[in-house]
Amino acid sequence: MRPQAGKDSVIYVGATYVGNFIDKEVIFDIFDEANRYFKENDLPIRFVYFGKLEVGPGYLINIPTEEGNVKGYPLEAVIEALYAKLVSEIQRDSSFPVNRIFGLTTFPLVSRNPYFHIYEKFLGIQQEITGMRIMVLSIKPFESDNLVLVKNRVLKGVLHELGHGFGLEHCSNRCVMNPPRDLDDWDGRPLSYCSSCMRNLRSALLAEITLKK
């Protein structure tokens, strides 16, 4: 059920996933934890679950690596599917104020260079289409046998990409907006925005809420 009360004072972001998740509850937990973080820090952002995103297996491509072929999604296909999902949700309920969607996927995200015939790998990516912000994050680089660690890593990634979605740049502080050198660096990063990024995020949110009132 979509929230109604006070909807003009909250910015909603559609939440979805694509891929073969062994435990779908992990996805729900990540978005729930993000919402809990927003609430505890008085940030007027909330994820709203849109259901699973269907991207046909025909879109999967084989990526040659040193360990053999790995299946991945062309990020262009995922972006298009997310955009179509967002548009369909808006058409289903035009009164619901949402112009952003965030997708998680278990597969790597890649983009093929048509000139050099190589694949460039992406952890997360976002794009703006007709005034709507599309965000996607691959869980693949965060994999571990430790499920708690995986959720913590992905949640930081969600906050990072979402920060970009509201205009935040990379920073050099102890902050989720500081891109890591490696996973050990990421594991040591606090699950939070630094005071500077938090201030900029609050300003961006307030400006957007004021504009739509």
Q: Which residues are catalytic?
A: 161
User: How far is 213 from 209, CA to CA, in rounded Å?
Assistant: 6
Contacts 24+ apart (CB under 8 A), 165-172: 165/13, 165/100, 165/102, 165/126, 165/133, 165/135, 166/45, 166/201, 166/204, 166/205, 166/208, 167/200, 167/204, 168/193, 168/197, 168/200, 168/201, 168/204, 171/196, 171/197
